[in-house]
Amino acid sequence: MDEERQWARNIVRAIHESPLHQPQTPNPQPLIGINPGATYGSAKRWPPERFADLISRVIEELNGNVIIFGSTAEIDIVKEIIWKLETWNLEFGTKILNMAGKTNLRELASLIAECDAFITNDSGPMHMASALLVPVIAIFGSTNKKTTGPFGEGHKIVTKDLPCAPCMKRECPEGHLKCMTAIAADDVFAALKDVLPEERAVFLDRDGTIIEDKNYLNSFANLVVFPNAKEELQKLKDAGFQLIGVTNQSGIARGIIDEQFVIDLNAYLQKELGIDAFYYCPHHPDNNCPCRKPEPMMPLMARLKYKINLKSSYVIGDKELDVQLAKKINATGILLSATISPENTIASYVAKDLTDAVRWILEREVIAASGI
């Protein structure tokens, strides 16, 4: 999976490094996936010219980059979209990457996972994107949004309530496709802006980062919050960051820690330290679950719920797996260590403590905002 993730990032690097439409702010350019096809039939497909209109707005108004997906059977649909953009004399350089007919299933999943949002008809890739915890904007016409819509929170369904829809037909039995043509590019663009992750966050390890590591802490009697934690975290909140706790708690699976204690402790820390949310993994390392750090499920869940731009975010922790997590989600990793030298870690910065980490983040943000 790490190899496939790196393959996908190498593929998208070309559009992220486009000389056109460079960002005027320190925020990374959003990468939007577009899936204009649908195997079931024409009644499930939004018109190509609407997708072209939408893509032009993503690039011009959001300074975004676009990947267009599709099977070999949908290459002509994608060609029509690109032809339409060309007839409008729009010069986007390498801001658009056409991957229609160029991926197998695993490659498709890897590229979708790199997207900040995914705009699609009701289709297989729609379900793939929602399973990968990528924010989805799903365009529904002839099919039933209640039974086949994207699973989970953080997604948007764009549809029109017409008397004839959903008809569940491959082709429009009335010959007009109003369920699709009534949906304007404005409707889909508004839905994209509503779900597009734009908030910055700092993901915080718990034990050894904001509280003393007691080796399977299982009692409030042994809890020691670092004295400067509240003050330092408030500096991050004042700078506009959301604070999200992400902690491995295998002691639950080992029978050492009661899960309710973890829930209660995390809630206490949220209240006392101003942390916005806490996620924890209760599983044993041997379970190879997708939520145990350095696997990325916890931050991906937070992205959907809190609209977090992972590329503009940070991860702070006292173990290498914390900065490995940062790498997996394209965030910036900071390792807390008084002994590890920078050449022995993949961290972007090695901080001696939380105060040092917060200082580095705030200074880095000031430099980025100034364009230096």
pTM: 0.91
Name the least confident of 5-14, 121-130, 160-169, 360-369: 160-169
Across 50-76, average pLDDT? 94
Amino acid 16: pLDDT = 62
Among 21-30, 113-122, 335-344, the minimum mean pLDDT is found in 21-30
Q: Which two tokens stand for residue 267?
A: 């809630």
pLDDT at 22: 40
- Going by C-alpha positions, the residue among 116, 267, 288 that lies closest to residue 280 is 267
- Spatial neighbors of 133 by CB under 8 A, at least 6 apart, are 152, 154, 297, 300, 301, 303, 304
Domains of the chain in start order, with CATH, are 2-195 (3.40.50.2000), 201-370 (3.40.50.1000)
> Look-up: residue for tokens 């993730």?
5
| CB burial of residue 150 (10 Å; 0-12, 13-18, 19+) | buried
In contact, 136 and 161? CB cutoff 8 Å: no
Q: Is the pLDDT of residue 182 over 50?
A: yes
Cβ contact 292:285 at 8 Å: yes
Does residue 38 have a pLDDT over 60?
yes
Average pLDDT over residues 99-114: 95
Distance CA 212, CA 336 (A): 13
Between the alpha carbon of residue 94 and those of residues 12, 65, 177, 186, the distances in Å are 10, 8, 33, 24
Taking residues 189-196, report their average pLDDT. Answer: 97
Q: For residues 29 and 163, which has the higher predicted lDDT (pLDDT)?
A: 29
Q: Rounded distance, CA 203 to CA 200, Å?
A: 10
**Mean per-residue pLDDT, 300-313:** 97
Closest to 32 in 3D by CA, of 104, 127, 136, 124: 136
> What one-character-per-residue DSSP string does 171-226 give?
S-TTS--HHHHTS-HHHHHHHHHHHS--B-EEEE--BTTTB---SS---GGG--B-
**Mean pLDDT computed over 195-216:** 97
What's residue 1's pLDDT? 72
pLDDT value for 91: 67
Q: What is the pLDDT of residue 208?
A: 97
Q: How far apart are CA 276 and CA 282, in angstroms?
A: 20
Confidence band of 23 (pLDDT split at 50, 70, 90) = very low
pLDDT band at 25 (very low <50, low <70, confident <90, very high): very low
Distance CA 55, CA 68 (A): 10
Quick one: pLDDT at residue 88?
79
